[in-house]
Amino acid sequence: MATSGRERLGELAIMIRPNTSILPANASDKHANSADDRPDAGGFLPGVGLLALDRQYAVLREEIRAALDRVCDSGRFVLGPDVADLEVELARSLGVPHVISCASGSDALLLALMALDIQPGDEVILPSYTFFATASAVTRLGAVPIFADIDPVTYLVDPVDVERKISKRTKAIMPVHLFGRTADMDALLPIAKAAGLPIVEDAAQSILSTWHGRCSGSLGDVGCFSFYPTKNLGGIGDGGFLTTTRDDIAQSLKLLRVHGMEPRYYHQVVGINSRLDSIQAAVLRVKLPHLDAWTTARQSNAARYMELFSHYDLEEHVVVPGEEPRGRHVWNQFVIRVAGGRRDALRAHLAACKVGTEIYYPVPLHMQQCFASLGWQKGDLPETERAAEETLALPIFPELEPAEQRTVVGRIAEFFNVPQVRQPGGAAKQADTAQPMDAPHFLRRMKAVGRADDVRC
């Protein structure tokens, strides 16, 4: 039986005490030491971007340009050898027998449901707290999205609510491995098996994440991934792919992505046009060998945020995300929860300090205008609605510098007017706090379970 996320929220509750100084430690790193980028008197950098794709390009520029030249010289722009090679390389990296590329993550979701023969009127259970494409794939086939609530600690779909919402019309379950963390497959797989339902994993944000050593995308019947530029493995435009361990589904997907055509101009079924172009594949092949190192950098950045947050008395105001003990969390996003209805004010403060943030997602899908006819009401999915009001994503990209992270956390502490109670290294700052602080719950938990990122796909 799955445990309720609400019970576990207490594990991460964070508290606060009043304040004095708010000084991030020595700020000077590689991308933050030009004349314009020097820290101010308070130790803050003049700004931190939510993303900095240019830093990745600066390192790979020559290789990427050579790859683009190679494709242009070849005249093979759609599918072709680079796409085939990318599929083989991805299959090896993820440890899955079949990788089928396509034109976007959104198309991957649609193709997965088409391969499972989802029909008008069928029901598909998915979280409401996800990107729109998870649900639109369902409605584009005339099927009905049935939204399940989330676990308030992980923000991932709540298996208890999924089980509760299975009906005679349910034809598939679509967990989303949101923010880089695999959904609770220990609970979901038996639920799906007992009900005889396939699982479509929306793994758009979680390439290389694992669950007990197996890659997301290889746990259910089909996995759907995105190469959107902000993803952990991003192209220079749109792209996506599917994974499956099932030969029958792989065959269907290969047919469906090319208008159901095989051989040429003979159409066995009605598919769609969703082919990956060779330019994307060539660029992605340059990037793929770096993905593991970039993922490790994201994990280090997440650990550094956890450490930095523990230097401040922010527990009453901010809930910091935790590691996943059962698998590898790949940190596509580092999302904090802001208590007391102050998320938007904090975001405005950070924007004024030129610190980039984003809200994923401000309006849950069951409250979207285009789904009004489905009849969902405010209050139907309380944890989803609360997350939409309280969460805020901070910069977490691999090239992020420690000084930039110190600025982000220092600016948050500044907004809440709380002191730095610990120095880097862990000693409590006696002058700033009346009572020494225990390690926050999330750090204690991390120590107990250890780092769970040792598994490679």
Q: How far is the CB of 333 from ligand PLP (least distance, A)?
A: 9
- Amino acid making up residue 149: D
Give the C-alpha separation, 227 to 229, whole Å: 6
Part of the chain binding ligand PLP (CB under 6 A), chosen from 55-63, 102-110, 363-371, 428-436: 102-110
- Amino acid making up residue 9: L
Tokens of 283: 């660029």
Measured from the CB atom, the residue of 170 and 206 that comes closer to ligand PLP is: 206
Residue 106 contacts ligand PLP per CB under 6 A: yes
Residue 384 contacts ligand PLP per CB under 6 A: no
Q: How far is the CB of 209 from ligand PLP (least distance, A)?
A: 12
Do the beta carbons of residue 202 and residue 109 sit within 8 Å? Answer: yes
Q: How far is the CB of 117 from ligand PLP (least distance, A)?
A: 21
The residue count for binding ligand PLP (CB under 6 A) is: 15
Phi, psi of 432 (to 5 degrees): -95, -5
Measured from the CB atom, the residue of 108 and 446 that comes closer to ligand PLP is: 108
Rounded (to 5) percent helix, strand, coil in the chain: 40, 15, 45
Do the beta carbons of residue 367 and residue 353 sit within 8 Å? Answer: no
Tokens of 58: 């600066």
Q: How far is the CB of 144 from ligand PLP (least distance, A)?
A: 19
Residue 308 contacts ligand PLP per CB under 6 A: no
Residue 228 contacts ligand PLP per CB under 6 A: yes
Measured from the CB atom, the residue of 138 and 176 that comes closer to ligand PLP is: 176
Do the beta carbons of residue 82 and residue 285 sit within 8 Å? Answer: yes
Q: How far is the CB of 66 from ligand PLP (least distance, A)?
A: 25
Residue 172: closest CA among 218, 124, 136: 124
Part of the chain binding ligand PLP (CB under 6 A), chosen from 25-33, 126-134, 316-324, 414-422: 126-134
DSSP H stretches of helix in 170-318: 185-195, 247-256, 278-287, 291-310
Residue 134 contacts ligand PLP per CB under 6 A: yes
- Amino acid making up residue 11: E
Q: How far is the CB of 103 from ligand PLP (least distance, A)?
A: 8
DSSP H stretches of helix in 199-290: 247-256, 278-287
Residue 226 contacts ligand PLP per CB under 6 A: yes
* Other C-beta atoms lying within 10 Å of the C-beta of residue 392: 20
Q: How far is the CB of 203 from ligand PLP (least distance, A)?
A: 8
Residue 252 contacts ligand PLP per CB under 6 A: no
* Other C-beta atoms lying within 10 Å of the C-beta of residue 457: 21
Q: How far is the CB of 70 from ligand PLP (least distance, A)?
A: 24
Residue 244 contacts ligand PLP per CB under 6 A: no
Residue nearest to ligand PLP (CB): 105
Residue 205 contacts ligand PLP per CB under 6 A: yes
Which position among 175, 220, 223, 240 is part of the footprint of ligand PLP (CB under 6 A)? 240
Part of the chain binding ligand PLP (CB under 6 A), chosen from 26-34, 200-208, 312-320, 412-420: 200-208
Residue 104 contacts ligand PLP per CB under 6 A: yes
Residue 176 contacts ligand PLP per CB under 6 A: yes
Measured from the CB atom, the residue of 133 and 330 that comes closer to ligand PLP is: 133
Measured from the CB atom, the residue of 357 and 420 that comes closer to ligand PLP is: 357
CA distances from 59 to 31, 286, 442 (A): 13, 11, 35
- Amino acid making up residue 186: D
Q: How far is the CB of 34 from ligand PLP (least distance, A)?
A: 32
Q: Which distant-in-sequence residues (6+ apart) come within 8 Å of 398 by Cβ?
A: 56, 293, 294, 295, 297, 298, 301
b or e along 28-37 (b: 16 or more beta carbons within 10 Å of the residue's beta carbon)? Answer: ebebbeeeeb
Q: How far is the CB of 320 from ligand PLP (least distance, A)?
A: 22
Query: Residue with structure tokens 């520029």?
Result: 61
Give the C-alpha separation, 172 to 218, whole Å: 16
Contact residues for ligand PLP (CB under 6 A)?
A: 104-106, 130-131, 133-134, 176, 202, 204-205, 226, 228, 238, 240
